[in-house]
């Protein structure tokens, strides 16, 4: 899919009706972000979550908004600048690498994007290397039955996503979505070192 037309996608991605089924406030609260945290919005699109993440980590924290589409990256830069979100950095990344420094990130949020990534097990390994010891990857995507989202043939089950994270060297669990009618949550964490 071509995501270069940001104005067209902004109408859908930033539609106020999305708040009703995406539950962004509740979702960001679930991440357990603290002031000073470094959070990645992977597949940030038009930056729907960016203002909320920016507030959650505060002025001493950092939001790294990553996308493969240069027009989306520029859109998020402009959005952050207009809103005075000085703790936001928007970066273009290749399809196969988030380009994150080792042990540099507290949380990675991936909303409605995981199904677009090829070689997800290898990608998970790169995310795992970027996590701080207590870091977490949160994947939010559409259930097979969801009214919103991509065509059914592109959807993944929560169990499939958890298996991919496990194969990519994270421990994974499906988390109760609480009020997300069309989506699931999967949390990945670094495995504890053997004693």
Q: Give the pLDDT band of residue 48 (cuts 50, 70, 90).
A: very high
Residues 6-11+22-190, CATH architecture: 3-Layer(aba) Sandwich (3.40)
pLDDT at residue number 194: 47
Percent of the chain predicted with pLDDT > 70: 88
- Average pLDDT for 6-26: 63
pLDDT digits (tens, 9 = 90+) for 125-152: 999 999 999 999 999 999 999 888 888 8
CA atoms within 13 A of residue 111's CA, in its CB half-sphere: 24
Domain boundaries, the chain: 6-11+22-190
The contacts found for 51-58 with CB under 8 angstroms, 24 or more apart, are 51/83, 51/85, 52/24, 52/25, 52/28, 53/28, 53/109, 54/80, 54/85, 54/87, 54/88, 56/28, 56/29, 56/31, 57/33, 57/87, 58/87
């Amino acid at each position: 899919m071509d995501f270069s037309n940001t104005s067209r996608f902004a109408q859908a991605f930033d539609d106020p009706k999305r708040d009703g089924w995406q539950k962004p406030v509740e979702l960001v609260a679930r991440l357990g972000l603290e002031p000073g945290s470094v959070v990645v919005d992977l597949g940030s699109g038009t930056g729907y979550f960016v203002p909320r993440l920016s507030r959650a980590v505060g002025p001493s924290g950092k939001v790294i908004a990553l996308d493969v589409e240069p027009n989306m990256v520029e859109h998020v830069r402009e959005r952050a600048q207009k809103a005075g979100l000085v703790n936001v950095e928007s970066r273009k990344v290749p399809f196969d690498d988030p380009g994150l420094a080792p042990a540099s990130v507290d949380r990675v949020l991936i909303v409605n994007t995981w199904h677009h990534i090829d070689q997800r097990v290898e990608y998970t390994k790169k995310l795992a290397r970027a996590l701080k010891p207590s870091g977490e990857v949160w994947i939010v995507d559409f259930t097979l039955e969801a009214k919103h989202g991509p065509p059914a043939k592109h959807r993944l089950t929560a169990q499939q996503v958890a298996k991919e994270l496990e194969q990519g060297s994270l421990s994974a669990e499906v988390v109760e979505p609480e009020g997300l009618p069309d989506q699931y949550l999967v949390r990945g964490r670094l495995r504890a070192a053997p004693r």
